[in-house]
Structure 1
């Protein structure tokens, strides 16, 4: 027995302020006395556990020994369990609680924090053991795995009781969550069967299960199994209770396009709101960005004579949405019309760069990228057309990038793409311009960027891909044009999985040209997006060639191509990931990091995160470590708040490459959030000693501050910092590069877009993922900056009626002050300050001399008129100044009076910008029109009309901007007579507009 200190004397009736007297009784020989002491200890242990903790060995000896009765051992277990609970040793607490039995650990009726915490621990152990027995590839077991396995049978009883408690309380979602986390498909079926007696509860449970499958379930095989069960239950619901939106989402996750096509056709046949719902589902499908699935759904729809005459018009609308590019046209029309791009940003940037004479080539190129970001998707290329001399400073690959940026600006403008780029495209017959084909190659890449997003017309994308393939073959001797054509083919043919295109790109690869081969490797991955895994022959060939070639650029292109081919394959990509991780070539290991990023994008997979963190602190290559850290943002982008916590320590690493990548990871994950804690983490990095770390911090902060309002506490300060860095003489070019790109990113897309890798339904958008991944490659290749435009998603709220026109009467109420989400004020041109006359300070001796001279002049009869005139002029000037000051103060008072309190809510017109953080505060305003899909309040919303018989002329058609509309026409010549008489004065006739020439047409290169 363990000796205990003598307890202090406690008189009769005294409160139990110490447990020492009771603990001393545990050493007595009398077993009834020990039992009585334990019972009393159980009542006070929650307050005196700190004293009892010293006697834990004694309590465990009583609990596990055979010399005491069962009841005594149970009470000892209960007391010791609660002490371990307060010490936060939950595993030991649970082990002893299980020994205490139901009398002291009742999971059914007791809902105290003690019981609830231990139940959660029991479920955690239950799910861990289930993972280990189902052969999951992730490393889910820890050092206590054997203890968990020993508790398995006992824990199983607790979990079963919890299921019964959930059934009795009808908390089906709780029970389903446990079953999904434990990967117990039999329990999933049982829960869905038991909740079937109430259809409303069953629908809610199915919707929860569908959401949980994409967030809780990590294992791909079990997720597919669970989704299959959920889909079957959805289909078994009567039509009156069926949630078609959730069912389509489930079928999409399973890849069952053959089930979606007849569903859409059936909704159209039903008519009324059902046909409107079909249109909404089509918009949601296109928004996912999965062009392969959308094409399969379109192929399964009835066509031609198979279409009923009654639904022919609606079927045409469905086709227009799915493959006609209507959604893309709507976004283009919105970005063009609602653009709030500030032209002074580029004007001031250009002025700052030109102030000191020649512009550095790097900064000149970055300024053109900034212009592309500012006007991404708006079709506004006014700066380029008005500053042709500035563009001519671009040369060689800078010229390639300048032309490719047109694709970023005109993204989605597919109907005018060939007309816009005609001056730059390669001449017929394969004749290459004397400039080396840089403009031609950039134009071909621009074509790919314009057609890169999946919501553009399928027919136009197909014809453009065909044209780019022709150019790829015709210009095989010119690696610059080949580079642009290959990237263009990859972007326009994204995910088509066409073997013929893949082989054509492979032929370019086998020429062993470093520049063309790099693009071919990337394009091969784009064409075969997500089609790798399982010992794929094409992946094997690419990896073999990467090991044979001596060109680092080709190896890098192939490694990125392999990563693209394993997009969203999860554990099916583990084999190639392990192979790349173990390779001696750092460039292939670099590709392995991006393979993890793309294979597990948005999954939050713990095993993938562990691998990336291990490489981030252990690999000998700085580039590999950078890729591993950046990849964390891709894996965790659905739970972005985890990224700053994970990389917080890496931000203070001694290695500048690690710090740079940590900044980029935080910026990508938290883009558009404006989160104050994230900005606080990045702020010290803005003053880092290493120039490229400052660059990364500037870009990352710009990502976070996208669409931030002017009243955000960091907006003006950071905006001024970006402008100041560009003008500072002693800042390095790399830091200035970050500031220039930051100005473009912060106000991207006319301030109407935000960086986002997911659709509104939570689907990962491949174009966005690829856009960000390729932008990260600008570290090695600056033309990759142009691809960031693929990741910009319009933040639009647009309500459409049955005819797919904007309904102006439909509005959304935002329950917030208008200033919280208002566009920042545009910059104002600085007016030249009028120099004020400075009064000369006169010495006292001078003043005395002047006074004496004046007195003498007065005595001699000086000119009184002159003195009076001077006094009058001085008084007049003084009066005018006082008057102006009084007017200014009066205006300020009037402004204050007029301003008044800011309203607490405001209305969003249709269409309107709706930022990511604004959505949760918005509610559709009740009225004649309301969303056909309950809960829809952002993106493209199809509206149902409560009074369809009434006419409503207040609508607006979706109109795509044409080339002619982009610039106002010059005024006609006119005659001006100032007073109606005399000679006619005719204005100069307007000169013909200067034709747009290719960027960099001049001989000079920026220095």
Structure 2
């Protein structure tokens, strides 16, 4: 047909009475509408009238023409409704721009209508009985809080562009004009419903889904189903994928991948906790229906849904199958459950598994050696033995599962790995010690923390043994921190923990003789004991609790509270909570902060309303800021991972006039929504970061972005870029720490680009934060992975030795050097587990670590975030066989950083006598004049034959620095060239032994070529159960030396205790204590340090501390002569 120039004639035909002329006009316009639509616009009412006229034979054609006109007018809602009215004439498969636009609009409308019918189903709102001025319960308090200066958290801003995070209002079509503004109170009926075309819409969507199924694009259907909150469509897509695949190949590997995809979306994108739980329940149901289910995905769902009964049921099913592979899978699931679950969850699973094991065996497994009363109890219970006991053949397997769920096996294996592969560079640690004056407490603490982090979990404590004189300079809280550092170094050393700390633990007064020395070392030892048994509990909780209840000294109570919190983390134990609350009510500022924090740690993630009400009430009653801060942090910990259930508490805390409680409100957002990437949480944090009047609150608001977004860490640098250049140093510090927390262990270049300039910031604590964050980002990075790591390490060492650098920056530098080499260079910082779940100890450790701003001993909590980067293969006997696996990379790519070279001239020299500045300046001026004269006469500059040290010192230092700099540049260039040549020469691919260091980025290159040992799942790091295909053949295993139990100590008599107490009381000086420790035959660092750290300080008030950190010397008249 020849193209029309004008549509005037055809438009005129629409007014004719003859239907055939109208049909001819519509057909002609339909074919040329893209060219003539401007002339047809005025005739749209007539065309719509034809569509609505039921007697008109081509109603659908009229609807199609009108739809295309509205499409060109960009009235997409009207266009879509009329296109749906066009029925079969609207061809989905035409592939034109008009069809694609209408299909997209149909999908959006289907999503908004479907989601509007299913409002967010979160946890029930907590009715807190509190005295918050800006919160309460009921609608009236919500409307009242709208008028307050603090916007309620749940109504913080406009809805997000993402449909997943939008709070839908039933009956409102979000695609309808005005529907996106939730502040407009109206109940307009959506256009689709007004015109009655929802049936046609459903037909189009079903046709679209069928086309996707035909082309095997199941993921698109799943995406639409999740956005529309339609579980029926989601179920249909998964079942259809499974059925289609079985028809073609008879297997269903693709449906398992689809399940993984659904789980990834569910855990990473869906932000409403209630809807997420519904999806997980559906996935769990579908996984159980599959003939050969993916047990690892099931375990992932079970942990998140807190279904402990289902977890124990799965383990029982697998063990009772009896074949080696099922047993290996059961062990692997047990290891995964331990890594991803809370102590409370594991305890319930252990109780249910224990019921399958005869009582005597279960007690031996859980409690160790039997006691006198065990036989009697066993006789009583045997008469009422419940049915359903396990087969005798399965009992050893269930015992092994109990030991895995108890955490003992994982802890032993990680301890052995860190012990065997320790690669600490002692030259760096010694340089840190020599650069910082130990008589100043901040510097002594810095070296202690550096040593603790470097040796975390390795059990190597020789630094204390070799530096007893340095250790003797610790007084008061420095001594507390140094003793607690033993807990970080020996973390996981369960079998020897009590023996190691025995000399430090509080002892009762005996026959009038005093206690066991310094209360600071006693308090520190209880804290250390908790760190050794962190997130494990068991006997440690009872021992610490006993000492805590008996303690009268506030320092011992402080350490005991921290130890109880970290060992009893997430147990929800009411008894421990009551003990802590009793001490809290004594209203002591010193122990109140630790007690408030410990209450939160014990009730971690439980959302316990009674505990929250007690804490809120006391926070308003007390006058001590420290107690309020501890309680604020404790409340945030109780709401860990609770998301929407924490909103009421958040609103109340953010509306409080006390900035410390507002600080707690921000931390509650960080922990309740950690890892969720919630738009609502991010908006609130950014709002508070620029609007609150208190610097502490603004700082923590920016810092908390790191906790919310660590799963999408690449978005954080862009988000905090402007905040990192803020006029306010607290905001800059918060931006630095947010980058460190979210990008930890990634080596992300964008994060380093922002942090590097902050090393030259004018404010000392911003430089401190930048140093710590850089270390967190660059942990386990070598020059091959990130070329800038070498220069940044050098910058840190230079800053450490700079006498003009501020004390706070030097503190940050020492801590940073410990973090970057964490755990003997075998640990990374990870806030999520290898299987993708939230790493609860890691998140809590990082959150409490950030409180070092107020209290240095809390820095030790960062060790909870240290995750060993290993692959440890264990067989069905839970032994570690010797075998090799293959890494398809160059060895240098993931190798350890090189050790620092120790130069002879760097040996410590005697300190030169100080010279007055005026004398030095006069001598320098004289030297310059002499040099200038020599240059003019072209003479060679000779060195004086008998120079005085004071004469040459300033000029010599300048010259040496210059030469060193030149040498450094040449050396760097040479090192770079040699590195390039080495890479060229290196062969790709090398063998690794079992229990080797494997970085997270290296996992994808691993293969297991050994024909005998096959992993039961794709290695994700950590413990991997391998299936021994030749169990009858002889094999070699790796002996676990680090966790070998020491022989029991000889029985201690009253005379021995008196002798020990008198001996300790006689030791009044660090020097004598050090001498006694050196004479001791025990080689361990902890034992050698005991005499120093337990000695009572001569001046308990800390007069030994230098008043200022700046170095200075003076000379007497006699020395001058």
Q: Contact (CA 8 Å) 2:554, 2:590: kept in 1 or not? A: yes
**Distance across 1 between alignment mates of 2:42 and 2:803:** 75
**Distance across 2 between alignment mates of 1:940 and 1:498:** 29
Alpha-carbon offset, residue 147 of structure 1 = 4.2
Alpha-carbon offset, residue 549 of structure 1 = 0.4
Asked if 1:730 corresponds to 2:804, the answer is yes
Which stretches in structure 1 are left out of the alignment for 5+ residues? Answer: 1-12, 44-51, 85-91, 455-460, 835-840, 848-890, 966-989
Structure 2 counterpart of 1:442: 524
Q: Contact (CA 8 Å) 1:39, 1:75: kept in 2 or not? A: no
**Distance across 2 between alignment mates of 1:963 and 1:192:** 51
Structure 1 counterpart of 2:337: 285
**Distance across 2 between alignment mates of 1:846 and 1:602:** 70
Asked if 1:498 corresponds to 2:573, the answer is yes
Structure 2 counterpart of 1:875: none
When structure 1 is superposed on structure 2, of 428-437 and 668-677 the one drifting more is: 428-437
Q: Contact (CA 8 Å) 1:78, 1:104: kept in 2 or not? A: no
Query: In the TM superposition, what whole-angstrom CA distance separates every residue of 1:102-159 from its partner, at most 9, and x where no partner exists?
Result: 7999684356788667755654554445444433276525997644673565785454
Asked if 1:210 corresponds to 2:263, the answer is yes
Asked if 1:342 corresponds to 2:425, the answer is yes
Match of 2:699 among 602, 622, 626: 626
**Distance across 2 between alignment mates of 1:273 and 1:434:** 54
Inter-CA distance 960–746: structure 2 relative to 1 (3 Å threshold): same
Structure 2 counterpart of 1:486: 561
Query: In the TM superposition, what whole-angstrom CA distance separates every residue of 1:590-647 from its partner, at most 9, and x where no partner exists?
Result: 1111111111222222222222222222211121122222222222222222222222
Q: Contact (CA 8 Å) 2:887, 2:989: kept in 1 or not? A: yes
Inter-CA distance 810–60: structure 2 relative to 1 (3 Å threshold): farther
**Distance across 2 between alignment mates of 1:109 and 1:521:** 64
Normalised TM-score (structure 1): 0.81
Query: In the TM superposition, what whole-angstrom CA distance separates every residue of 1:831-867 from its partner, at most 9, and x where no partner exists?
Result: 2399xxxxxx9999999xxxxxxxxxxxxxxxxxxxx
**Distance across 2 between alignment mates of 1:684 and 1:701:** 11
Match of 1:655 among 723, 728, 734: 728
Asked if 1:424 corresponds to 2:424, the answer is no
Alpha-carbon offset, residue 741 of structure 1 = 1.2
Inter-CA distance 895–181: structure 2 relative to 1 (3 Å threshold): closer
Q: Contact (CA 8 Å) 2:357, 2:395: kept in 1 or not? A: no
Query: In the TM superposition, what whole-angstrom CA distance separates every residue of 1:415-434 from its partner, at most 9, and x where no partner exists?
Result: 11111112222122498769
Asked if 1:378 corresponds to 2:458, the answer is yes
**Counterparts of residues 135-534 of structure 1 (less than 5 Å):** 135-136=119-120, 139=159, 140=166, 146-147=178-179, 150=190, 153=193, 156-157=201-202, 158-195=204-241, 197=243, 198=246, 200=252, 201-238=254-291, 241-271=292-322, 272-301=324-353, 302-304=356-358, 306-323=389-406, 325-354=408-437, 360-429=440-509, 437-454=519-536, 461-475=537-551, 477-532=552-607
Alpha-carbon offset, residue 266 of structure 1 = 2.5
Match of 2:865 among 746, 767, 791: 791
Which stretches in structure 2 are left out of the alignment for 5+ residues? Answer: 15-23, 52-60, 123-153, 160-165, 169-173, 181-188, 360-388, 908-933, 941-974, 1048-1077, 1099-1103, 1110-1121
**Distance across 1 between alignment mates of 2:642 and 2:981:** 62
Query: In the TM superposition, what whole-angstrom CA distance separates every residue of 1:170-211 from its partner, at most 9, and x where no partner exists?
Result: 433332332222222333344445445347154444343333
Alpha-carbon offset, residue 297 of structure 1 = 1.2
**Counterparts of residues 842-861 of structure 1 (less than 5 Å):** none
SS at match of 1:828: coil
Q: Contact (CA 8 Å) 1:424, 1:998: kept in 2 or not? A: no
Q: Contact (CA 8 Å) 1:63, 1:73: kept in 2 or not? A: no
Inter-CA distance 187–394: structure 2 relative to 1 (3 Å threshold): same
Q: Contact (CA 8 Å) 1:755, 1:792: kept in 2 or not? A: yes
SS at match of 2:991: strand
SS at match of 2:710: coil
Inter-CA distance 900–611: structure 2 relative to 1 (3 Å threshold): closer
Inter-CA distance 313–65: structure 2 relative to 1 (3 Å threshold): same
Aligned residues: 885
Structure 2 counterpart of 1:885: none
**Distance across 2 between alignment mates of 1:335 and 1:381:** 13
Q: Contact (CA 8 Å) 1:710, 1:822: kept in 2 or not? A: no
Query: In the TM superposition, what whole-angstrom CA distance separates every residue of 1:412-466 from its partner, at most 9, and x where no partner exists?
Result: 1111111111222212249876975111111110111111134xxxxxx322211
Alpha-carbon offset, residue 807 of structure 1 = 2.6
**Distance across 2 between alignment mates of 1:317 and 1:294:** 14
Asked if 1:950 corresponds to 2:1033, the answer is yes
Alpha-carbon offset, residue 723 of structure 1 = 0.6
**Distance across 1 between alignment mates of 2:1043 and 2:764:** 42
Q: Contact (CA 8 Å) 1:408, 1:446: kept in 2 or not? A: yes
**Distance across 2 between alignment mates of 1:531 and 1:222:** 20
Q: Contact (CA 8 Å) 1:426, 1:432: kept in 2 or not? A: no
Inter-CA distance 686–894: structure 2 relative to 1 (3 Å threshold): closer
Match of 1:921 among 1005, 1017, 1020: 1005
Structure 1 counterpart of 2:666: 593
Q: Contact (CA 8 Å) 1:128, 1:182: kept in 2 or not? A: yes
**Counterparts of residues 28-177 of structure 1 (less than 5 Å):** 39=31, 42=34, 66=47, 74=64, 77-78=67-68, 81=71, 93=76, 96=79, 99-100=82-83, 108-109=92-93, 119=103, 123-124=107-108, 126-136=110-120, 139=159, 140=166, 146-147=178-179, 150=190, 153=193, 156-157=201-202, 158-177=204-223
**Counterparts of residues 606-685 of structure 1 (less than 5 Å):** 606-685=679-758
SS at match of 2:1024: strand
**Distance across 2 between alignment mates of 1:555 and 1:529:** 18
SS at match of 2:899: coil
Normalised TM-score (structure 2): 0.73
SS at match of 1:414: coil
**Distance across 1 between alignment mates of 2:978 and 2:674:** 55
SS at match of 2:871: strand
Query: In the TM superposition, what whole-angstrom CA distance separates every residue of 1:960-1000 from its partner, at most 9, and x where no partner exists?
Result: 256989xxxxxxxxxxxxxxxxxxxxxxxx97658323448
Structure 2 counterpart of 1:908: 992
Query: In the TM superposition, what whole-angstrom CA distance separates every residue of 1:220-278 from its partner, at most 9, and x where no partner exists?
Result: 2222222222222222222xx22122222222222221122132122222222111111
Q: Contact (CA 8 Å) 1:94, 1:122: kept in 2 or not? A: no
When structure 1 is superposed on structure 2, of 410-419 and 799-808 the one drifting more is: 799-808
Inter-CA distance 545–246: structure 2 relative to 1 (3 Å threshold): same
Q: Contact (CA 8 Å) 1:181, 1:216: kept in 2 or not? A: no
Q: Contact (CA 8 Å) 1:42, 1:75: kept in 2 or not? A: no
Alpha-carbon offset, residue 280 of structure 1 = 0.9
**Distance across 1 between alignment mates of 2:939 and 2:707:** 77
Query: In the TM superposition, what whole-angstrom CA distance separates every residue of 1:465-521 from its partner, at most 9, and x where no partner exists?
Result: 11111111211x311111000111111111111211111100000000011111111
**Distance across 2 between alignment mates of 1:603 and 1:798:** 30
Alpha-carbon offset, residue 562 of structure 1 = 1.0
Alpha-carbon offset, residue 540 of structure 1 = 0.8
SS at match of 1:829: coil
**Distance across 1 between alignment mates of 2:221 and 2:983:** 54
Query: In the TM superposition, what whole-angstrom CA distance separates every residue of 1:904-958 from its partner, at most 9, and x where no partner exists?
Result: 333332111111222233333352211122x23522111112333333x232133
Q: Contact (CA 8 Å) 2:874, 2:1024: kept in 1 or not? A: yes
**Distance across 2 between alignment mates of 1:892 and 1:749:** 28
Inter-CA distance 942–962: structure 2 relative to 1 (3 Å threshold): closer
Inter-CA distance 814–909: structure 2 relative to 1 (3 Å threshold): same
Asked if 1:603 corresponds to 2:684, the answer is no
Inter-CA distance 165–38: structure 2 relative to 1 (3 Å threshold): closer
**Distance across 2 between alignment mates of 1:151 and 1:341:** 69
**Distance across 2 between alignment mates of 1:757 and 1:898:** 35
